[in-house]
A and B are shown apart, each in its own frame.
Chain A
Amino acid sequence: AQSVTQPDIHITVSEGASLELRCNYSYGATPYLFWYVQSPGQGLQLLLKYFSGDTLVQGIKGFEAEFKRSQSSFNLRKPSVHWSDAAEYFCAVDPRRNNLFFGTGTRLTVIP
């Protein structure tokens, strides 16, 4: 079945530590891939996107993501987390039909 999986429901990291949020997808062809962030009570903000080409994608706020075709993964990373990064993060997949399918989200807590 087609799906987007974010295996970590909740992650806690210390401020200044590195971060990696996992995302795996199950679709026939390589879809378009996205990461969105949602701060408490807010809407969705696009962090970065992958359509094709270079598998390491740079986004806003110092985030990057790496597409690995062999693993059907699109993990989000940040080398040094700031307290303002506390939010919920959603991986989303567009199987080239202009329909986004979302993972269930990962809530990030940042401790001082």
Chain B
Amino acid sequence: EAQVTQNPRYLITVTGKKLTVTCSQNMNHEYMSWYRQDPGLGLRQIYYSMNVEVTDKGDVPEGYKVSRKEKRNFPLILESPSPNQTSLYFCASSPGTGRNTIYFGEGSWLTVV
């Protein structure tokens, strides 16, 4: 089954404690991205990757890092989380070119206290 899998789904953490949200897709997609969803703001793109070792900033990259060492994985790293990073995070993937549907993971609820 085609899937984008995120972990953890729910996390409460403290300010400054580094955390990583993993994202894995089993569709051999080239393109992957991360979004955050906040009330009244919709979904905003944090980072995206067009292929292995190719990443670029989205609209709200501050406070986040990503890496794309292998095609299937695209982890989101919060080196020093702050309360304003409390949000719902979605990972997405697509084949990368042409008329493609973008597939989303189920979301990760992150609370920073």
Binding site for B on A (CB under 8 A): 4, 6, 9, 32, 34, 42-44, 46, 49, 51-52, 90, 92, 94, 98-105
B42 touches A51 (CB 8 A): no
Size band of the interface chain B makes with A: 20 to 34
Known contacts A32-B99, A46-B101, A99-B48; 18 further A-B pairs (Cβ under 8 A): A4-B42, A9-B40, A34-B102, A43-B104, A43-B105, A44-B104, A49-B101, A51-B99, A52-B99, A98-B94, A98-B96, A98-B97, A98-B100, A100-B35, A102-B43, A103-B42, A104-B41, A104-B42
Question: Residue on B with the closest CB to A49?
Answer: B101
For B40, list chain A residues within 8 Å (CB). 9, 104-105
For A43, list chain B residues within 8 Å (CB). 90, 104-107
The docked-state distance in angstroms from the alpha carbon of A75 to that of B50 is 30
Contact count A vs B, C-beta below 8 Å:
51
B102 touches A94 (CB 8 A): yes
Main secondary structure of the interface of A (DSSP, over half): loop
Lowest 10 A-B CB distances belong to which pairs?
A: A102-B42, A102-B43, A104-B42, A43-B106, A51-B99, A44-B104, A98-B31, A43-B107, A105-B42, A103-B42
For A42, list chain B residues within 8 Å (CB). 106
Q: Please provide the chain B residues from 1 to 59 with a CB less than 8 Å away from any CB of chain A in the complex.
A: 31, 33, 35, 40-45, 48, 50, 58
Q: Is B66 an interface residue (CB 8 A)?
A: no
Distance to closest chain B CB from A107 (angstroms): 10
The docked-state distance in angstroms from the alpha carbon of A104 to that of B105 is 19
For B45, list chain A residues within 8 Å (CB). 99-101
For B97, list chain A residues within 8 Å (CB). 98
Question: Residue on A with the closest CB to B6?
Answer: A43
The docked-state distance in angstroms from the alpha carbon of A104 to that of B42 is 4
Q: Please provide the chain B residues from 75 to 113 with a CB less than 8 Å away from any CB of chain A in the complex.
A: 90, 92, 94, 96-97, 99-102, 104-107
Question: Residue on A with the closest CB to B39?
Answer: A105
Question: Residue on A with the closest CB to B97?
Answer: A98
